[in-house]
Copies of this chain bind each other. A is one copy, B any other.
Amino acid sequence: MQIVADNINIMNPRVARALESLDPEPVRTLARECAAGGADAVDINPGPVKKQRHRRMQLLIEAVQEAADLPLWLDSNDPELVRIGLDLCRRTPVINGFSLEPSRLENMLPLAVETGCRIVGFLLKADGHVPPTLNERLETFQELYEQSLRSGLDPEQLIVDPISVPLMWEDGSAQGQAVLETVAHLPQLAGHPVETVVGLSNLTSSSPPSRSRAVVEPAYLAMLSQAGLNRVMLDIRRREAVAAVKFRRELESGGILSWAELDAWLNPAPPK
């Protein structure tokens, strides 16, 4: 399973200040923390950028690329910002992403068809709502998949995000279970392996501070990995979740488990 760090986003005050003052250094520092913390890719979510759009996207992307040799995920619902990003990426990025919402289907999906980049497809209904049940998620997948093929996307370009919602929602546990089952069912439905990603940070957002998070996050991620998840998007500071990914890889590689190495993932040395 690959780790996509979601730390470079506009909700992070360090990123907001960097964009405001046009200072790349805080973003470089964050990118170094992601790389040192075990990220395989870095998601860049600039939020809505009204002014100096090119300059600000450039600042983010170049700062990350200077600090970390990792592929980028361009996380925006603004196709113009994604297009700016596509031109600046040194390594092939992932477009994050599109859904059945008409604007995204019309303006974002073609960017992937045109460039050959992978693109995340969110299992959201055309009105932007989350399909709450397993069946509705699977129906949404089928529609999304057919629309993708019709638009000329190679099925291998598609990375499906079944949309993790906060456990605090009234049906949060039921949806958490539905996401697990969605991941497990997709290959059967598509007739071939399906690349998937889940955003782990959503799971505990708006939850009260709790020691149980350090169990819930790695446990849920472990269930997802067993269901077949390929990639997880997470806050690289959630070390228990990162260690769970590392443990999963140890199981799959069949090597001798190194507790010292696992401990180092739990408490990584600060980046140089």
A243 to B177, CA, bound (A): 17
Contacts of A115 in B (CB 8 A): none
Q: Which residues of B contact A247 (CB under 8 A)?
A: 212, 215-216, 219-220
Task: Judge whether A262 and B216 touch: CB under 8 Å.
Answer: yes
**Partner-contacting stretch, out of A79-87, A146-154, A250-258:** A250-258
Q: Report how many residues on chain A are interfacial, defined by Cβ distance under 8 Å.
A: 48
Copies in the complex: 2
Q: Restricting to A180-213, which residues have a CB under 8 Å from any CB of B?
A: 180, 207-208, 210-212
A227, CB-defined interface residue at 8 Å:
yes
Interface 9-residue window, one of A15-23, A100-108, A167-175: A167-175
When distances are taken between beta carbons in the complex, the residues of chain B under 8 Å from A226 are: 180, 222-224, 226-227
Q: A210-241 CB contact bits vs B (8 Å, 1 = yes)?
A: 11101110111111111100000000000010
Q: Which 6 A-B pairs have the closest CB atoms?
A: A174-B254, A226-B226, A222-B222, A212-B262, A219-B222, A210-B259
